[in-house]
Amino acid sequence: MEILNYTDAHQDFRKRLRTFLAEEITPHVDQWEADYIVPKDAWQKMGAAGFLCTWAAPEYGGRGGDFLYSVICAEEMARTNHTGLCSMLHSDIIVPYIDAFGTDAQKKKYLPGCISGDIITAVAMTEPDAGSDLAAMQATAEKDGNEIILNGNKTFISNGINADLVIVAAKNPAEKNPYQAVSLYIVEDGTPGFKRGRHLDKMGFFSQDTAELFFSNCRIPSENILGQEGMGFMMLMEKLQQERLMCAIGAQAAAELMLEWTIDYCKTHTNAAGKPISKSQAAQFAIVEMMTDVKVGRAFLDKLICSHAAGENVVVETSMAKYWITDLDKKIASQCLDLFGDFGITEDCPVARGFRDVRVMSIFAGTNEVMKGIAAKFLGL
């Protein structure tokens, strides 16, 4: 019996999305990886086809779908074996801040473009000296009449080059309590004082445009405060459950896909003895062990998806899933490459890209050490 209750409408959506990705996205992935960026029109195609922000209300142009549509999008995007068009980040991590905390005017202004793909979003939290510890951020936001002046540097910002809208976390320097000093601000592309820095070179995530962002006396109107002033830290904490769950969903799908490729390769290629690799006991044992881990991860994850969709607080369990499944991803990628042999080190081997891409998943959205610390705290340790 399946844990998740996918309806016929969900299954039809998955089929349409898989067909769309096969026709419009996957054929271009190798070029995007070589270019280190995805063209903006790919985002617009995704939006026009109804595959961005599937949860958004129809009044803004969305389909009003449940959380399972987001799960389907994350899983099917993982099957494209690239991370540049990271619709999950845009649709299910960043834009929900606007939907949950934005004013009616902000929602009407931004949500339709986010849904259509005309507005690509980024969230700027990480700084050169402030990663997992958000309270250590140095970026400032000071009032000047009806404007806010932003100053500071952000780094490792996904969608940093393509972003048309950035949600920026910054501190009020007059507030001494670091947890009450943080607010979130909406900064549009082209705002004076907002500049993009380097397009960062990375060991993986090649087509993901990760960048530095700089704010130098960047003036935005006061109405661009997102949510209540001084509540930025709490808003970020509130949304981290879904962010880390989405990370686990993407990691689980990647592990399943890499194992699928490996099993197919072992069945269709021979070893030094001239027999299919899959007939080797060593290969069989390795595959069975990996498949067991993947199925354990899937069962745990699907239960969390149900709980999250029902509105339950599963912060501890989500932290556990994020660290365990992303660590599993690294293990699966390494063991799969071993079974590919010499072919595994070539760019023709799809797991080679997966091996690079999964490495950072244990770092972003809060390092796995932080995840364990969160779980330990709630366990009273």
DSSP three-state, residue 2: coil
Same domain, yes or no: 352 and 278: yes
Q: What is the mean pLDDT of residues 221-237?
A: 93
Shared domain for 145 and 88, answered yes or no, is no
For residue 151, what pLDDT is reported?
98
As a whole number of angstroms, the longest Cα–Cα distance in the chain is 78
User: For the chain, what is the domain count?
Assistant: 3
Nearest to 235 by CA among 346, 125, 327: 125
Characterize the bridge pairing of strands 121-124 and 211-221.
unpaired
- Given 175, 210, 228, which residue is the final one in a domain? 228
Q: Report yes or no on 19 lying in a domain.
A: yes
One domain, residues 34 and 154: no
Say which range, 19-33, 210-224, 343-357, has the weakest mean pLDDT. 343-357
Q: Confirm whether 2 is domain-assigned.
A: no
Is residue 157 pLDDT above 90, yes or no? yes
194 DSSP β-pair partners: 215
* One domain, residues 80 and 171: no
C-alpha–C-alpha distance, residues 26 and 150, integer Å = 39
Q: Are residues 216 and 254 in the same domain?
A: no
Do residues 195 and 258 share a domain?
no
Cα(270)–Cα(332) distance, integer angstroms: 21
Does 170 lie in the same domain as 136? yes
Mean pLDDT of 310-317: 93
- Is pLDDT above 70 for 333? yes
Burial class (CB in 10 A: 0-12, 13-18, 19+), 169: buried
| Crossing angle of helices 232-268 and 315-340, rounded to 10° | 30
* Pair 348, 258 in one domain: yes
The H or E element containing residue 369 is: helix 368-378
Out of 89, 119, 149, a domain closes at 119
Residues 115 and 128 in one domain: no
Q: How many residues does the chain have?
A: 381
Contact 154, 126 (CB under 8 A): yes
**Spatial contact of 9 and 66, defined as CB atoms under 8 Å apart:** no
Q: Are residues 38 and 85 in the same domain?
A: yes
Query: Could you report the per-residue pLDDT of 83-136, keeping only the tens digit for each?
Result: 999 999 999 999 999 999 999 999 999 999 999 999 999 999 999 887 777 778
What amino acid positions are annotated as catalytic residues?
Answer: 243
Do residues 108 and 49 make contact, with C-beta atoms less than 8 angstroms apart? no
Rounded CA-CA distance 41/321 in Å is 34
Q: What is the domain extent for residue 24?
A: 8-119
| 8 Å CB contact between 361 and 250 | yes
CATH assignment of the domain containing 251: 1.20.140.10
Tell me the CATH number at 38.
Answer: 1.10.540.10
Q: How far apart are CA 244 and CA 239, in angstroms?
A: 9
101 and 29 fall within a common domain: yes
Band of residue 178 on the pLDDT scale cut at 50, 70, 90: confident
Last residue of a domain, one of 167, 194, 228: 228
**Interatomic CA distance for residues 33 and 43, integer angstroms:** 16
Is residue 253 domain-resident? yes
Residue 1 lies in a domain: no
User: Residues 6 or more apart from 134 whose CB is under 8 A from it?
Assistant: 125, 169, 182, 233, 236
Percent of the chain predicted with pLDDT > 70? 99
Q: Are residues 213 and 258 in the same domain?
A: no
The pLDDT mean for the chain works out to 95
Residue 272 banded pLDDT, cuts 50, 70, 90: confident
CB 97 within 8 A of CB 184: yes
